[in-house]
A and B are shown apart, each in its own frame.
Chain A
């Protein structure tokens, strides 16, 4: 199987400047100034069907074509390296193994959008990746590939790395912009969209690390070749982060539209210990859960949406038949309750409320009405808020009890009986003690 980005993923190895240049590195960034003007470059990326790989899947070239170039203000490029979606770790691989690929992608995207200043917003916990990126940046400046008059082409481009400080919501693009302006990372009401009013009030392009890292390949081999690698309207390949109950967790680069079953069984080595598959989260924690009988689905933005879930960040979390879905949902909702920025009542109250209900259920005090109550809460959380965190929380909240309703019902009933008979209601972190059903997951 052909590899693009991941062909640079050699364990324990970083492609520094000399290495990368020996391997086609910076050829496209150097050539782009002569081969294209901004418009033809954007057209090329449109033709490649390159989708935004941070989670939303918006076509990159189309997004770029929305950026107004006549406002008299500078245009900024902001690189989203916040990588906060649980189950996702691929941007870290890119930065760790081939930071210059990202920098080359940044140069190409900057040129397409007439950008002379870019910021890379990297999550605060990524200390080693940050140091690698910083060193690569210094190499690129030293070579004259960044800074003034890059490649001697009369084009200036400054790149600044900015470290986040531990907040999932700063991965949301407008929360990120607020954070980058020195404020709390509270998302902005849209419109206006960042393409028009973004960083410091100026037009701003925001793209994920992986999205930008595919640009050199599109220029190396052509937009049509890239588009043909993938499925309809979903160009190329993407990096699937696979974790959980599989034999070989890791990052797998596969064509858009690859069947989920192939990812799990052919590439990730199947379920650990030969157990049976129970459920899969296909696109990061915020994607609706799939049952084992749904893994025939092709993994692209459109096919997963048609199935009521989403491709998201391509974080594939696999669960075997020892998993307690009630506890898994409790752990999931605890995350959103913790990470909601608190601006919108449906999100702030809804996530906390549901988490407390689930915690109570796990503690053995569930009530039959809880399941429908949660569905009610869920119905006012989606689509009523400033950002998509609430929709992301609503996806698992709706899908787990829908797809595993008998298990939720049995849990509520059985745990209560168990508690009544043996009195073992004692807990740590809101999780039932060993030997009870819920412990299966832990």
Chain B
């Protein structure tokens, strides 16, 4: 896949950097923006970000590995993040993770071989009022999750 930076992307990144006091500071926003474009961050992108922000590649690597929302490999087209922390656990999260694993034939943390689905068991997403909950793709919070709801999300 081509993860080259078009002039448009470059402009977008420049605008982000301009808001900060140092070049390094906006790295989370830079990686996030690139990941939104390309789906994940390749080794080449990492190197390019290092060069662009004028920091050693190892500093980019450190950031990539520290934060859970950056992906070094392609994810499934659909992404399920089932919360497993206390409130969700009290309301059935473990069963739900297990159900999703069985349904998709993968373990939490994996992607189906056909590249369609990724499944994660995650920590509290700040939506315990709708527990048990999960995040579908990167922006949708789904509450009062049941096995049936998981099936529906997988199907749609």
Contacts and interface: CB of A to CB of B under 8 A. Distances in A.
A112 B41 CA distance: 42
Contacts of B21: 200
A248 to B, nearest CB: 9
A368 interface: no
Interface string A275-295: 000000100010000000000
Contacts of A124: 28, 32, 67, 69
Contacts of B26: 162, 182
B24 interface: yes
Contacts of A181: 22, 24-25
Given A89-B128, A167-B68, A442-B93, A285 B86 contact: yes
A350 interface: no
Interface residues of A, number: 59
Contacts of B67: 124, 164-167, 185
A241 B128 CA distance: 8
A189 to B, nearest CB: 18
A249 B91 CA distance: 12
A168 B122 CA distance: 12
Interface residues of B, number: 51
A126 B135 CA distance: 10
A184 B123 contact: no
A281 B28 CA distance: 33
B25 A87 contact: no
A166 B86 contact: no
B124 to A, nearest CB: 4
B63 A182 contact: yes
Contacts of A158: 19
Interface string A303-344: 000000000000101010001000110011011001100000
A83 interface: yes
Interface string B64-99: 001111100000000000001111011111110110
A7 interface: no
B20 A160 contact: yes
Nearest to B87: A243
B131 A163 contact: no
Interface string A420-436: 00000000110100000
Contacts of A183: 24, 59, 62-63
Interface in A332-360: 332, 334-335, 338-339
B150 interface: no
B119 interface: no
A331 B29 contact: no
Contact of A165 (B31, B94, B130, B141): B31
A167 B91 CA distance: 24
Contacts of A184: 62-63, 66
Interface in B29-47: 29, 31-32
Nearest to B102: A428
Interface in A174-193: 179-185
B128 A92 contact: no
B154 interface: no
A245 interface: yes
Contacts of A164: 28, 67
Cβ-closest 5 pairs across A and B: A165-B67, A166-B68, A243-B128, A86-B124, A182-B24
25 contacts: A84-B124, A86-B85, A86-B128, A87-B86, A89-B129, A125-B69, A126-B126, A163-B28, A179-B28, A181-B24, A182-B24, A182-B26, A182-B28, A184-B66, A185-B67, A244-B131, A249-B128, A285-B85, A317-B128, A331-B86, A331-B89, A335-B85, A429-B94, A429-B108, A431-B94
Interface of A: 83-89, 91-92, 123-128, 158, 160, 162-168, 179-185, 200, 241-245, 249-251, 281, 285, 315, 317, 319, 323, 327-328, 331-332, 334-335, 338-339, 428-429, 431, 441-442
